[in-house]
Structure formats: C-alpha cells, structure tokens
Amino acid sequence: MYNATYINETHPMLIRLQLMQYRHHLELTWLEDCLALKETLNFSKASASRYVTQPAFSRRIQSLEEWVGTPLFERSKRGVTLTKAGEVFTDQLPELIHSLYTLKSDTLEAAGNKQPSLVFSATHALSFSFVPHLLKQSDKIAKFGSFRLLSDSLNACEKMMRQGDSQFLLCHHHPHMHLSLNKNNFMSIRLGFDTLIPFSKPDSE
C-alpha cells in the first residue's frame, strides 16, 4: 500500500513549485503576455485577449516575474499598475520580440527554408468560403507573385500576425468583438459583410 498526498492545482505550494521549475528558462509567450497586460492593466481582459484562462495567464505572468527576479506589476484592489522595473522592462519588449522573430526568419532563410514572402492567414470558415472568391475577383493579388494561405483559428491567425509570419489576416469582426491585435500597429479594412441569422426548431422553447 502506498501513501499519496494530493494537492489542489491552486494550492500555493504547487504554484510555487511550478514557478521554481521555470526559474531558469524564459518563454516568448510570457513576453507577449506581459505586453497584453501592459496594454489593458486588467488580468481578465488581458487573459481574454490571449485566449487563456485568467488563472493560467496569472501564473505565466508570475513565472516571468520569477525569471526576471522582481515584480513587474503592482496588484491592488484598485487595479493593476506597472512597477518602475516593469516600465523599464516593457518599454523594450516590442523591439525585443520583433528582433527574435526576425532572427528566426533570417535563420530559416540561411538554412534554405525561406517561405514565400507573402503570406495570408484566414480563419477556417473564410478560407473555404470567401478566399477563393476573393482570389478570382482580384487581379491585384496575383501581381504579388507566389504566396501562401494559412488556415487556422482566429487566435492562431492573430499570433501569426504578431510574430510577423503573416502579412494579411482575413477574419470576421464585430464592434463588440475583441481582437488581440493593437490598432496602433495594425490597420484594417472591410472587404464585405456577413449576416448572422438565428434559427430554431418549430415550437421549440
């Protein structure tokens, strides 16, 4: 017979053990999380923009702070603010993230794995329904030469845009819909409209 001790996943001891295992390495995802929290100063909004649960997002921010060695954000009942260390750290983050993705691209090119320079990303629905029609109707796209179309979820497509792996994103949008792409860094145009019509079974409650 064996004795076993079970710890709830939110237990402080388990969280600390998880943070300790990340102390000696850094994930690029954490840096992007940090920028999202800087922009919103709200854990709920930032986690939603990163498509992760708030507890998971909070643990990733804590892991980053553990790696840096000092708090980057001040948590209080009034909200979240950057510490002085956080201001210095986040001020250089955009350039650092861009440099890392550029380095990745340059490395692949040096290895002979360079992909077509023009990449479109699109959500699954639009890649099958809208993109083929767009390509047939637009002669301007053909002038770019060879290009790739990557079909994925909206979250994945947004990530490709932030990483510089895609130059154009085709997706649905609504004024009440939150996108994780900063309007200061990305511009958008409307290409068409879709109408959402609700249906239900007859006499259904």
Span 80-135, pLDDT tens digits: 999 999 999 999 888 888 888 888 878 877 887 766 667 889 988 888 888 888 87
Whether residue 8 is predicted with pLDDT greater than 70 in this model: the reply is no
Report the pLDDT averaged over residues 164-179. 84
Q: Tell how many helices (H) and how many strands (E) occur in the chain.
A: 9, 5
Whether residue 144 is predicted with pLDDT greater than 80 in this model: the reply is no
Whole-number percent of the chain with pLDDT over 70: 82
| Torsion region of 51: left, alpha or beta (phi above 0 gives left; psi -120 to 50 gives alpha) | left
pLDDT (0 to 100) of residue 189? 86
How many CB atoms within 10 Å of residue 76?
A: 7
* Residues forming CATH 1.10.10.10 domain(s) in the chain: 12-94
Report the range of poorest mean pLDDT among 67-81, 94-108, 138-152, 163-177: 138-152
- Residue showing tokens 């919103």: 40
The type of residue at 33 is D
- Using N-to-C axis directions, what is the helix angle for 28-40 and 93-110, rounded to 10°? 150
pLDDT (0 to 100) of residue 30? 92
pLDDT (0 to 100) of residue 6? 43
Question: Per the structure block, which two tokens stand in for 89?
Answer: 């750290």
Average pLDDT, the chain: 81
Whether residue 73 is predicted with pLDDT greater than 90 in this model: the reply is yes
pLDDT (0 to 100) of residue 193? 85
Q: Which of 61, 55, 56 is nearest to 27 (CA)?
A: 61
Architecture of the CATH domain 12-94: Orthogonal Bundle (1.10)
pLDDT (0 to 100) of residue 21? 54
Question: Per the structure block, which two tokens stand in for 35?
Answer: 């920028």
In sequence order, what E strands does the chain have?
73-76, 79-82, 118-123, 147-152, 168-170
* pTM (2 d.p.): 0.56
